[in-house]
Structure formats: C-alpha cells, structure tokens
C-alpha cells in the first residue's frame, strides 16, 4: 500500500482516485471544491491544501484542466511544491503543454524529487472502469515506482520517453480523436440526409474496416443526441490549441486539425463549449441545416431534397 496524494477531483479525477482507494492505497485528497463525501467514506482523507497532500504522501498525482491549473497546483502559495521533500514523486495526469511540462519537471527535480507526466485517454467511462490508456514521460526508475498506481487506473500504459513525451503523445491522440469524430459526424450526417436510418448505418459500419471506438461510442451519442460530457468541447479546444501552436513552432502544417478546431469553435459560438466533444457534429448539422435525428427509415432521398 502506498501513501498517495490526489489533487483535482473532477469528472476524471474523482473516479481515478476512487479506483486507487479500491486498490488498497491510502489516499490524501484536495480539490478546489470540497472533497467528495463518498471518497472520504471509502477511506480517503480530505486535506486543506496541496501542501498538506504532499506532506502526507509519497507520490502526488494531479488531474486538473489546463497548464495554468497545474502550475498553480504545484507552485502557488500552499501548493504541492511546498510540501515536497527529497525522494517523493509528482505524477501529472492532466493534458497540458509539453513545453511547460519540461519546465515543471525541472523545478520539481530541483527539489530532489522526480516528475512523471502521464496524461490519459479514455474519457469518463475509462476513468470509472479503470481502463484508461496512459502515456507517460519521465525517468524509468520513477516510472517503475508509480506503475502499480497506473495499473489501478488504466489498462494500456506506455513509457513514451523523457519528461514532456507523454504530453506529446496525448496531443497526437487528441488530433486523431478530433479528426475521427469529425469523420464519423460527416458519415452519419451524409447517411441520414440521404434517407438512411443513421442508427442502422452506424451498426453496419461497426462490423467493417471503418469500425472504431469513436464510431461505437460517439456515433451512438450523435444518433441519440446525448451530448452531456464526457469530455467537454472546451477541453478538446485546449488540446488542439496545443497541437496547432506546437505545429507552428515546428514549422509543420496540420490542416485537418485546424478544420476540426474551427468546427469546435463554431459549436462554442452556439453555446456548446460544455457539450461533449461528440457534439462537433452539431457544427456540421448547422451548415447542412439538417440534424441526424431528423432522418426516418421510411423517407427516401427524394422526399428530403
């Protein structure tokens, strides 16, 4: 059993912390809001600050929305860094800037501690079911020490390279996810507007080469119009901003990533920044003046033209 600190108990962090408690670890918890009572009832200990979490833990995990949030959790007054002592390990599981990650790692290293960036993929469902994919960056020795904790939260865990490389892998992941959501949205919109039943089209496609987890899960959301997050559009916008700003620094073009970002921007402009990212299809529907849910199996293309 390890003494583990966990800072950030939102949509993703709360079930991840719960799985660590289930695995038998002693959890010390802090979040900007009050620590959820069910985590305390399960055996977690609520703390008054990130500093207290770090003082009482051997390994501290952060799971917060964005780069400034990680910086504040680590280095603001009363933050985690103030409670660290040599030999402890910080594991940031947020999705943030790879460049800032290297800076944070250097500052934590300077305190005699180790730093692992370990962003995740799999969404709320993966967090609850402990099936997250985890992409880590950092020293092998520290990774080996935290691996049992990662095993309690995920199923596919990879040490990609040094500090920052986990975040680079996550940015790449988010590019693929955004473009696949866009492709699924276009496909189902086409089929629905042409008069086919989008639910049955989706079912047919899941058995072929076009099958994907996104077609299975987010295609279902598009058909059923269930756009409660999940993973909010505003967070995917943040991730694609990282991709596009990094691409400019690297001197490369990511044209379809830019298109996906513009579709997310259109959703946000229509009040959808808190929609699930599968709702990217709404931007396509607005341009088409047609919603997937409007299709009927008994309506032919000529009926809808």
Q: To which residue do tokens 């949030």 refer?
A: 69
Strand 89-92, strand 114-117: pairing: parallel
Contact of 224 with 203, CB cutoff 8 Å: no
DSSP code per residue over 41-70: HTT-EE-SSHHHHHHH-SEEEE--SSHHHH
* DSSP assignments along 211-278, one per residue: --HHHHHHHHHHHHT--S-SSBHHHHHHHHHHHHHHHHHHT---HHHHHHHHHHHHHHHTT-TTSBGG
Q: What are phi and psi of 115, to 5 degrees?
A: -130, 130
Q: How far apart (Å, rounded) are the C-alpha atoms in residues 169 and 165?
A: 6
Judge whether 170 counts as a catalytic residue: yes
From 14, 88, 170, 238, active-site residue: 170
| CA 141 to chain centroid | 25
| Alpha carbon distance 171, 254 (integer Å) | 12
Q: Which backbone phi and psi does 211 adopt, to 5 degrees?
A: -60, 145
Question: Is there a contact between 101 and 122 (Cβ–Cβ < 8 Å)?
Answer: no
Report the catalytic residues: 170
């Amino acid at each position: 059993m390890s003494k583990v600190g966990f800072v950030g108990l939102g949509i993703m962090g709360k079930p991840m912390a719960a799985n660590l408690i289930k695995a038998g670890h002693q959890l010390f918890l802090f979040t900007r809001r009050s620590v959820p009572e069910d985590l305390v009832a399960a055996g977690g200990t609520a703390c008054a600050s990130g500093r207290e979490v770090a003082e009482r833990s051997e390994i501290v995990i952060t799971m917060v929305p964005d780069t400034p949030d990680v910086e504040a959790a680590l280095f603001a007054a009363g933050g985690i860094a103030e409670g660290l002592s040599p030999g402890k390990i910080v594991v940031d599981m947020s999705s943030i800037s790879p460049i800032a990650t290297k800076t944070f790692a250097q500052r934590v290293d300077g305190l005699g501690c180790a730093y692992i960036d370990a962003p995740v993929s799999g969404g709320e469902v993966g967090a609850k079911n402990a099936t997250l994919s985890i992409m880590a960056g950092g020293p092998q020795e520290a990774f080996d020490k935290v691996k049992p904790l990662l095993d309690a939260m995920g199923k596919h865990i990879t040490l990609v390279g040094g500090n920052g490389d986990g975040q680079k892998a996550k940015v790449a992941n988010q590019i693929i996810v955004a473009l696949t959501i866009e492709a699924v949205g276009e496909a189902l919109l086409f089929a629905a507007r042409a008069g086919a039943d989008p639910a049955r089209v989706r079912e047919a496609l899941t058995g072929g080469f076009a099958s994907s987890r996104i077609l299975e899960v987010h295609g279902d959301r598009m058909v059923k119009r269930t756009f409660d997050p999940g993973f909010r559009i505003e967070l995917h916008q943040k991730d694609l901003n990282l991709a596009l700003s990094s691409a400019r620094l690297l001197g490369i073009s990511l044209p379809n990533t830019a298109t996906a970002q513009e579709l997310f921007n259109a959703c946000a402009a229509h009040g959808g920044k808190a929609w699930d990212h599968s709702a990217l299809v709404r931007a396509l529907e607005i341009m088409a003046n047609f919603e997937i849910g409007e299709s009927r199996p008994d309506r032919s293309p000529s009926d809808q033209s």
